[in-house]
Amino acid sequence: MTNARYNLDEPVAAIATALAPAALGIVRASGKNCIEKIAEIFSRPKALKEAGGNSIVYGWILDKNTKSEGENAEKIDEVLISVFRAPKSFTGEDMCEISCHGGVSVVNAVFETLLKNGFRQAEKGEFTFRAYINGKSDLTKAEAVREIIDSKTSDSRSHAAGRLSGSLFEEIDSIKTLVTDTLAAIEVDIEYPEDEETIADSFDPKMLENARDRLCELASSWKSEKIYQDGAKIVLAGKTNAGKSSLFNALLKEDRSIVSDIEGTTRDWIESWVSFDGIPARLFDTAGLRKTDDIIEAKGVELTEDLASNADLVLYLVDSSKGVLDDDKKFLEKNKSIPVIVVFNKMDLAGENEKSFEEFLASEGIKDSVKISAKKGIGIGELTSLVKKTILNDSTVKSEKIGLGSERQKKSVEQALERVEHALEIAKDETYGLDAVVQDLEDSLDSLGEVTGEVTPDDVLGSIFSHFCVGK
């Protein structure tokens, strides 16, 4: 299988680290005659050519286009070259990684020298694509590489690392074995029809039922995995001076929002990424909800309402020192369709108001609430746990290491599940023949093959790898 975007006959190179001042920069190269071509611009060509796989060679990158030649050529940078020989490399091809000093001009100079000496600039994701084509990686592992790069919390990284280690591939392969073994049993009955009584007698449905249950579990895993990858949109809302900015700062563990007793201090929203016990979230601090003649503040209130209406979760803050006000009730009534946690803030100042909170929650039918003091750091842990529980909504994965990593994978697994379920259904109906069951099971295997990349069109591959960064 090939892809029009990638010419695998050409050696490629790319800058693999960020172009910013740093201690080190890395330029990667892979492909036919990769090591020999780099040796031509290296101060110790013989040492590089003779280097074994998984070894490091010291020397200088040279500018062979200068008037001087050989060791007298202009020196670009002092480097270490990591050598990886096919097939024991990431791409399955000969590879080199040039570790140079991390100055922007230095890294660019090394890279440009490779391009002048026969290398093509790698396309986005081309190194990983070559690994896939050369059998060093399946699509689940390839997609996991991008997931790890984009991970926002330690939990999201851990989930992606599980797929990179091969856990999803192994689960898919195990399910395929159940389907394949069932097909083999059916083929025997097709070969010897005289021994067949009914479809139900042709094979033991237990293996297919096992496959169905595991496919169902995999399909449902995407709900939570998507949250770990993309993050949740969480909006802090409430009346002015309810303590939204204080809570925002407490959750971020830094002073990002201005905190003041003056009403209307926050006129616009600000956002930041934060982790709720491993769940990545875009957290929005918003303008306080109140009627105002201030045009700017009124616009901020409007934006707050828009953000809340499109949120995955709203943390609605009630100023416990003032109790539940009519405006609080109006907002909660208006936004019943949105998942809301009522946060009773300033509980250290609640006094007699606390007695009415439970009655209020019961009358409004609100299940999720928590009592905190943002300024004193009381109840933040309980709030974090409740947010995680609410966002996940009891959706869990089989383990941290087995779960789907993309919408593409989910679609293919659901298609496989549909065919297996249909096969089990028609196996009970004597009006169908064994050929119908066989067709369903073969279709399910094709769908599972799409997950791992055994059966995948070029346009799908192009879409997957185009989302990678250059150098990976």
Structural domains in the chain, CATH included, are: 12-137 (3.30.1360.120), 154-225+406-453 (1.20.120.430), 231-392 (3.40.50.300)
What three-state secondary structure class fits 261?
coil
Count of beta carbons in the 10 Å neighbourhood of residue 116: 12
Strands 232-238 and 120-121 come out as: unpaired
Residue found under tokens 């490779």:
114
Task: Give the pLDDT of the chain (472 residues) as one tens digit per residue.
Answer: 455 467 888 999 999 999 999 999 999 999 999 999 999 999 999 999 999 999 999 999 998 776 555 556 789 999 999 999 999 999 999 999 999 999 999 999 999 999 999 999 999 889 999 999 999 989 899 888 889 988 889 999 999 999 999 999 999 999 999 999 998 888 766 665 555 555 555 677 899 999 999 999 999 999 889 999 999 999 998 888 888 889 999 998 876 554 444 444 444 568 899 999 999 999 998 876 655 545 544 555 567 677 888 889 999 999 999 999 888 888 888 888 889 999 999 998 988 888 889 888 988 888 899 999 999 999 999 999 999 999 988 555 444 558 999 999 999 999 999 999 999 998 887 677 778 888 999 999 999 999 998 866 665 566 667 667 776 6
Residue 213 DSSP symbol: H
Are 46 and 40 in contact, with CB atoms under 8 Å apart? no
Q: How far apart are the first and last CA of the chain?
A: 20
Strands 232-238 and 279-285 come out as: parallel
Which tokens is 79 given?
């480097």
Nearest residue to 84 via CA among 146, 17, 16, 34: 34
Name every residue whose Cβ is closer than 8 Å to that of residue 66 and which is 6 or more positions away in sequence.
Answer: 73, 74
pLDDT of residue 335: 82
Give burial (CB, 10 Å; 0-12/13-18/19+) of 430.
Answer: exposed
According to DSSP, the residues that pair with 342 across neighbouring strands are 316, 369
Model-level pTM? 0.75
Residue found under tokens 């159940």:
178
As separate numbers, helices (DSSP H) first and strands (DSSP E) second, the chain gives 16, 12
Which tokens is 287 given?
């303008």
Name every residue whose Cβ is closer than 8 Å to that of residue 213 and which is 6 or more positions away in sequence.
Answer: none
CA distance 67 to 185: 74
pLDDT of residue 302: 61
